[in-house]
Amino acid sequence: MTTVGVPEFLHRTVLLDEAVDALAIAGPRAGGVYVDGTFGRGGHSRLILSRLGPQGRLIGFDKDLQAIATAEQVGDARFEIVHDSFASMSGALGARGIERVDGILLDLGISSPQVDDAARGFSFRNDGPLDMRMDTTRGQSAAQWLATETEQQLEKVIRNYGEERFAFQIAKAIVARRAVEPISSTRQLAGIVANAVKTREKGKDPATRTFQAIRIFINQELEDLEAGLNAAYAMLAPGARLAVISFHSLEDRMVKQFMAGKVKLEQPDRRLPIRAVDLPQPLMKLVAKTKPSGAEVEGNPRARSAVLRVAERLPAAVPPRAAR
């Protein structure tokens, strides 16, 4: 779909059928409420809508203004878009009178249109302003952050969020360069990193990890993910599913640990006189772990690192509501 006033960049939705299939939208659940926590260009949302019944409802979230512009053209009364992070879903859904939902999908990371648009500053492949904000109406840009942050904090962010072993050298080089001139473009930053990284991974640009780290930090992606996973679990109805697609190890590790923590609860000392029926019971069950097929990766190389994890909330996990 072409959005008026918005450059059109090709976007292929990763694990489209697999992710929507995982929500098990059928029978009575076709009339339920679903959440697409990362609308993007709407690939998952449109497929969800095609499977919902007339009484079904889909609430989408996105921080990106171009995604919001696309979402506003969907033209389906069952769909509503919220300009905010999925981390805010509890408040946003509560404000709409929604207490429980029948399925939640989170497609993490950035979309191809964001990467391919040089004006957004996410990629070093084309020169552009060093912005990197998913929501350009809020917060500081990457250039503003690089201009003021301490060398120690720069190193910490690049090391922790980019898993970059040359974080110290890169942070030192950034501080040295900004003393001479402002670092305001993607090509500038990529050049600084290339000169600081002494060895390169085969097939990977030396700036890849640094750009990933700064993007994650600027957009508070891991903080949003932690809050979003907790909010999603709290909103799931009995038998409802949470499906999450991640694209790098930091995200996937968080998702895996979160789901595992709901499946295998800490048990009391076996020497204590506790009946089996009174032991902590699993809150969720794992449903699937899926990766893109070889054919999908061949057609869309950006899908190669994607991992879909799905878990279902168990009925016994929802506490009884107090009498009103």
Which pTM was predicted?
Answer: 0.88
pLDDT of residue 1: 32
Structural domain includes residue 49:
yes
Other Cβ atoms less than 10 A from the Cβ of 67: the count is: 26
pLDDT of residue 322: 40
Structural domain includes residue 2:
no
Residues of each annotated binding site: 42-44, 62, 86, 107, 114
Residues of each annotated binding site for S-adenosyl-L-methionine: 42-44, 62, 86, 107, 114
Q: Are 159 and 167 in contact (CB under 8 A)?
A: yes
Last residue of a domain, one of 166, 189, 218: 218
What CATH number did the domain enclosing 269 receive?
Answer: 3.40.50.150
Half-sphere exposure of residue 249, counting CA atoms within 13 Å on the CB side? 6
Instruction: Report how far Cα 109 is from the mean position of its chain's Cα atoms.
Output: 5
pLDDT of residue 8: 44
State whether 191 and 239 are in the same domain: no
Last residue of a domain, one of 181, 201, 218: 218
State whether 61 and 27 are in the same domain: yes
State whether 190 and 237 are in the same domain: no
275-290 residue pLDDT tens: 555 555 789 999 999 9
Last residue of a domain, one of 198, 218, 238: 218
State whether 226 and 166 are in the same domain: no
Q: Which residues span the domain enclosing 276?
A: 16-112+221-317
227-241 residue pLDDT tens: 999 999 999 999 999
State whether 29 and 92 are in the same domain: yes
Q: Residue 230, SS3?
A: helix
